[in-house]
C-alpha cells in the first residue's frame, strides 16, 4: 500500500457480534513483532500475529545478523573488552540526534540480560573478536566495532568498546535468518497463532479513542479481530516512493533501497491514523562502504575542492552522511601505491591511477594545487602519528606519498549507495504510542522500524542497532501489552 494517505479508522460499534478476540494482536512478524508476540504469550496473553508475507522474517531476516549490545556481555568479557553500562549510555547519548534518556538507559542496563535472552532462543554468539574495519565480520567472529566508538570526538567522551555482536553465520547474508527461524519455533511453542498472507488495513477504536482491534484482509477475505492491545511492528517506509519523497528525498532514485516489499510505511500510517505522533521521519540511513579491505582506511577522502571533510576511519554511514553534505555530493578516496588494495566486491568504483598528484588533480577536475596541498599536510602529520584536522585514529594513519596514486569514486550516483528509513511513531520506553502532547493512544504499541527509538540519526547509527533495539523494545512492548490487556 503505497501513498501517504492515512487509513480510515473503524468504529467498534460497527463490528459484528461474535468477532474473534485476543489479548494481544501483533502486526508484522519480523524481529520486533516476533519478540513482542513471544513475550506477550509467555506473560499469559492469547496472541495473534498478522503477517502480510507468506513467511516470517520481514526485513529483519535480510540483514547480516548484527546486534548492538554491550555493558559486559559474555563475548566482550571472553575477548578481553571491558565495557560498562555508563560508558554505553554516554556513547549512545552523544551520538543521538535527540536522545531519549529513559530509552537509552533501559537499553544499556538491559543489554547483558537481553544478550542472554537472545542466546536462549537456541544459538550461541561465538566468543571471538574481529579487529579489522569491515561492514560485517567475514566469518563467524562474534564481536567487532560497528560504530564510531574509536572515532573523534566520541573517543574522548566515552571509553570505546566493540558492541557489534554477530550471529555465528559466515559472511554478510542470512545471519538474522537463523535467529528468525529460532524465534518462529519459540513463538509456535508458546502457542501464538500466526496468520500469514494476512495484512492489517485499519485499526478499530472505541468511542473514547482506545484501539480495540484490527480490520484484516487476506486475498478476497476480510474481517475484524478484537484485541486488548495492538502492537504495530510492520517495518519502515523505504519501499514507499511517496513517503520517501515526502520525508527522506535523499533515499531517491540514486540509491539502492534496503528493505522488503512490505516496508511501505503501513504500520506507521496506521499509528498516525489514530493520532500517533511521527518523529525523525526525515532521517535516513545511507551508506556506500569503501572498506574492506581495511588498508584503504589509511587513504584520504576529499571533496571536489580537493579538501578533506571527515575522518576516514569513521563508521561507513558517518562518512556517507558527510559525503551527502558536500558540494554536488561529490567525493573521492585517494590512496597511494603502497596502500592500495582493490576490494573484491567494490561498492565504490575505482576510477584510475596517475603517476603524479598534479595529473590526478586534472583527471578528477580538482582545483590546481588543492590535492597536493591536502596530501602534503596529511602526510606530514601522519608521519608523526597524528591528524590535527580530523583526529583519525593512529591505527589508520599512514603517509600517502608513494606514487602512483589511485582514486575511488564516493560520489552519489557513482558509488552504490544504499539506505533505509529511521523515523517512526513516538513511543514510551514500553512501546506505547504517544500523541504530540505526550498523551497515550490507549491500547496501541509500536516497535522495530515502526517506532522511533534509539536508531534515529543517520550520522550516529551503529550496525546492529535495528536488530538490537527492535528485539529489545519489541519484548518490552509485548510484556506491557500483555499486562495492559489483562493477559
pLDDT for 173 equals: 64
Domain boundary among 148, 166, 184: 166
3-state secondary structure of 211: strand
**Same-domain status, 345 and 310:** yes
Instruction: Identify whether 1 is part of a domain.
Output: no
Angstrom distance (rounded) from CA 399 to CA 377: 10
User: pLDDT grade, residue 257 (50/70/90)?
Assistant: confident
**Same-domain status, 59 and 179:** yes
In 3D space, the residue among 109, 101, 100 whose CA is nearest the CA of residue 70 turns out to be: 109
3-state secondary structure of 286: strand
Instruction: Identify whether 297 is part of a domain.
Output: yes
Percent of the chain with pLDDT over 90: 76
**Same-domain status, 178 and 59:** yes
pLDDT at 237 over 90: no
In 3D space, the residue among 282, 294, 267, 297 whose CA is nearest the CA of residue 444 turns out to be: 267
Instruction: Identify whether 4 is part of a domain.
Output: no
User: pLDDT grade, residue 485 (50/70/90)?
Assistant: low
Domain boundary among 374, 409, 444: 409
Segment 99-115 shows an average pLDDT of 97
**Same-domain status, 387 and 459:** no
**Same-domain status, 253 and 362:** no
Segment 141-152 shows an average pLDDT of 94
User: pLDDT grade, residue 210 (50/70/90)?
Assistant: very high
What's the grid cell of residue 438? Answer: 505526550
Angstrom distance (rounded) from CA 39 to CA 478: 5
pLDDT for 3 equals: 85
pLDDT at 1 over 80: no
**Same-domain status, 213 and 264:** yes
pLDDT for 190 equals: 98
Q: What is the pTM assigned to this prediction?
A: 0.94
**Same-domain status, 57 and 115:** no
pLDDT at 161 over 70: yes
pLDDT at 407 over 90: yes
pLDDT at 486 over 80: no
pLDDT at 211 over 60: yes
Output helix, strand, coil percentages for the chain, rounded to the nearest 5.
Answer: 30, 20, 45
Give the residue with greater pLDDT, 421 vs 112: 112
Residues 110/116, Cβ–Cβ less than 8 Å? no
Task: Kindly report which listed range (178-187, 236-245, 306-315) carries the lowest average pLDDT score.
Answer: 236-245
Domain range for 162 is: 66-166
Domains in the chain: how many in total?
3
pLDDT for 172 equals: 63
pLDDT at 38 over 90: yes
Angstrom distance (rounded) from CA 457 to CA 455: 6
**Same-domain status, 194 and 262:** yes
In 3D space, the residue among 414, 404, 244 whose CA is nearest the CA of residue 336 turns out to be: 404
pLDDT for 468 equals: 95
Mean of the per-residue pLDDT values of the chain: 92
User: What confidence tens digit (pLDDT) does each residue in 291-331 have?
Assistant: 899 999 999 999 999 999 999 999 999 999 999 999 999 99
Enclosing H/E stretch for 481: helix 465-485
For 243, 254, 281, 282, the CA distances from 248, given in Å and listed in that order, are 8, 13, 7, 5
**Same-domain status, 25 and 157:** no
Domain boundary among 101, 132, 166: 166
Angstrom distance (rounded) from CA 343 to CA 350: 10
For 10, 133, 268, 394, the CA distances from 399, given in Å and listed in that order, are 65, 19, 49, 12
Residues 58/420, Cβ–Cβ less than 8 Å? no
**Same-domain status, 195 and 265:** yes
pLDDT for 187 equals: 97
* CATH number, position 296: 3.90.700.10
Angstrom distance (rounded) from CA 146 to CA 165: 9
Segment 91-117 shows an average pLDDT of 95
Segment 422-442 shows an average pLDDT of 96
**Same-domain status, 294 and 405:** yes
- Let me know if 24 is exposed, middle or buried by CB neighbors in 10 A (0-12, 13-18, 19+): buried
Instruction: Identify whether 3 is part of a domain.
Output: no
Task: Kindly report which listed range (32-36, 97-101, 198-202, 446-450) carries the lowest average pLDDT score.
Answer: 97-101
In 3D space, the residue among 456, 447, 415, 404 whose CA is nearest the CA of residue 428 turns out to be: 447
Amino acid at each position: 500500500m503505497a501513498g501517504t494517505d492515512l487509513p480510515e479508522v473503524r468504529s467498534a460499534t460497527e463490528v459484528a457480534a461474535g468477532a474473534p478476540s485476543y489479548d494481544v494482536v501483533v502486526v508484522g512478524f519480523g524481529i520486533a513483532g516476533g519478540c513482542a508476540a513471544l513475550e506477550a504469550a509467555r506473560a499469559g496473553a492469547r496472541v495473534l500475529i498478522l503477517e502480510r508475507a507468506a513467511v516470517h522474517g520481514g526485513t529483519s531476516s535480510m540483514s547480516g545478523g548484527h546486534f548492538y549490545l554491550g555493558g559486559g556481555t559474555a563475548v566482550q568479557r571472553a575477548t578481553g573488552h571491558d565495557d560498562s553500562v555508563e560508558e554505553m549510555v554516554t556513547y549512545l547519548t552523544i551520538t543521538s540526534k535527540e536522545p531519549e534518556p529513559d530509552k537509552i538507559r533501559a537499553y544499556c542496563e538491559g543489554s547483558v540480560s537481553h544478550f542472554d535472552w537472545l542466546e536462549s532462543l537456541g544459538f550461541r554468539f561465538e566468543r571471538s573478536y574481529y579487529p579489522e574495519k569491515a561492514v560485517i565480520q567475514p566469518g563467524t567472529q562474534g564481536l567487532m566495532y560497528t560504530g564510531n566508538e574509536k572515532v573523534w570526538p566520541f573517543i574522548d567522551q566515552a571509553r570505546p568498546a566493540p558492541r557489534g555482536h554477530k550471529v555465528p553465520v559466515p559472511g554478510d547474508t542470512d545471519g538474522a535468518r537463523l535467529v528468525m527461524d529460532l524465534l518462529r519455533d519459540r513463538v509456535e511453542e508458546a502457542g501464538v497463532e500466526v496468520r500469514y498472507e494476512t495484512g492489517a488495513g485499519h485499526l478499530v477504536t472505541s468511542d473514547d479513542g482506545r484501539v480495540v482491534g484490527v480490520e484484516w484482509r487476506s486475498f478476497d477475505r476480510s474481517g475484524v479481530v478484537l484485541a486488548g492491545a495492538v502492537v504495530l511492528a510492520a517495518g519502515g517506509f523505504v519501499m514507499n516512493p511517496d513517503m520517501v519523497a515526502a520525508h527522506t528525498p535523499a533515499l531517491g532514485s540514486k540509491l539502492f533501497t534496503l528493505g522488503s516489499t512490505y516496508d511501505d510505511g503501513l504500520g506507521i500510517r496506521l499509528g498516525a491514523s489514530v493520532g500517533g505522533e511521527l518523529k525523525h521521519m526525515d532521517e535516513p540511513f545511507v551508506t556506500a562502504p569503501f572498506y574492506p579491505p581495511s588498508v584503504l582506511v589509511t587513504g584520504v577522502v576529499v571533496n571536489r575542492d580537493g579538501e578533506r571533510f571527515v575522518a576516514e576511519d569513521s563508521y561507513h554511514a558517518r562518512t556517507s552522511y558527510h559525503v551527502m553534505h558536500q558540494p554536488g555530493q561529490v567525493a573521492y578516496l585517494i590512496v597511494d601505491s603502497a596502500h592500495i588494495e582493490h576490494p573484491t566486491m567494490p561498492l565504490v568504483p575505482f576510477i584510475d591511477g596517475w603517476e603524479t598528484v598534479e595529473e590526478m588533480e586534472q583527471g578528477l577536475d580538482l582545483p590546481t594545487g588543492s590535492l597536493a596541498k591536502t596530501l602534503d599536510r596529511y602526510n606530514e602529520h601522519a608521519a608523526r602519528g597524528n591528524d590535527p584536522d580530523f583526529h583519525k585514529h593512529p591505527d589508520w594513519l599512514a603517509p600517502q606519498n608513494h606514487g602512483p596514486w589511485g582514486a575511488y569514486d564516493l560520489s552519489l550516483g557513482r558509488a552504490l549507495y544504499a539506505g533505509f528509513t529511521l523515523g517512526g511513531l513516538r513511543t514510551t520506553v514500553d512501546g506505547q504510542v504517544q500523541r504530540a502532547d505526550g498523551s497515550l493512544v490507549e491500547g496501541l504499541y509500536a516497535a522495530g522500524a515502526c517506532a522511533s527509538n534509539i536508531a534515529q540519526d543517520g550520522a550516529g547509527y551503529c550496525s546492529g542497532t535495528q536488530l538490537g533495539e527492535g528485539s529489545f523494545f519489541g519484548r518490552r512492548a509485548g510484556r506491557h501489552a500483555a499486562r495492559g490487556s489483562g493477559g
